[in-house]
Structure 1
Amino acid sequence: MGFAESMLLAYPGPLPHVDRIALTECIEACMESAQIATACAEACLSEPDLPELAECIRASLDCSDVAGTTAKVLSRHPGYDANLRRALLAACRAASALCAEQCERFAEAHRHCRVCAEACRRTEAACERLLDV
């Protein structure tokens, strides 16, 4: 059991209209993507083909910021506004998809891009599932 799930289970009040599994998976995926995308951007800065990686670095940093913010807001589950939640999930899904696309371009040459693309696709899917709830 991860910490996000532990915190959801420890919440003292009711969580109406919340799919705890989908929420837990999304928070955890967002937190993971935030970390991995930051690490991937840093790794890209050390690659010899740095100029070619500029868009990938930007997409990774954007994804990291959006995913981190999304995880924080979703962690305040009982008080968040549904419209804000949907907007953040849509933005996170879009940022994750863009980062994954950029990283997939370099996945064969750079292992860190492959790992990042996989994490971003997981986050994209988790955001989509939570949007459908």
Structure 2
Amino acid sequence: MSFSDTVSKIDGLNDEQRECIENCTEAAQACEWCADECLGNAEMEECARLCRDVADLTSLHARFMARSSKYSARLAQACADACEECAEECERHDADHCQVCAEVLTECAESCRSMADS
């Protein structure tokens, strides 16, 4: 069963919430990959740090959404802000992993912002 199929089975979520869970999970994975690739490069230390923060925030937000936590909307705001900051940092670097990460984070920030506003 795919991750998308699993998320679709969570009761009480609308399509926008399901999409945000998927985006957050993808962002966490992209950030872990990007952070790992940045290790050992002094010019990319800030990128690695931000990516690790975002990986933790987005995975936590996805879990909060899956269980309909009352704190999800507040965490969505923090997630959106962190995703935007990290995407800006990733965009500064030419590495493929940074460019992919920035793209994923931009999409995640948009869906998290939508969750924060709802």
TM-score by length of 1: 0.81
Residue 96 of structure 1 pairs with residue 83 of structure 2:
yes
Gaps of 5+ in 2: none
One-letter amino acid of the counterpart of residue 26, structure 1: C
- The percentage of counterpart residues that share the same residue type is 34
CA apart distance, 1:4: 4.7
Match of 2:112 in 1: 127
What per-residue deviation string (whole Å, max 9, x for no partner) do you get for residues 6-30 of structure 1? 223xx3xxx3xx6x11101100000
CA shift, 1:5, in A, is: 3.9
Q: Is the 8 A contact 1:40 1:113 kept in 2?
A: yes
The equivalent of 1:66 in structure 2 is 57
> When the two structures are aligned, how many residues end up with a matched partner?
116
Distance in 2 separating the partners of 1:128 and 1:4: 23
Deviations 1:64-122 (A, max 9, x none): 00000000110102xx21xx12210011101111110110000xx20000000001001
Gaps of 5+ in 1: none
1:27 and 1:75 in contact (8 A); partners too: yes
Runs of 4+ in 1 over 2 A off after TM superposition: 3-6
> Which residue identity lines up with residue 78 of structure 2 in the other structure?
A
Q: Distance in 1 between matches of 2:49 and 2:103?
A: 17
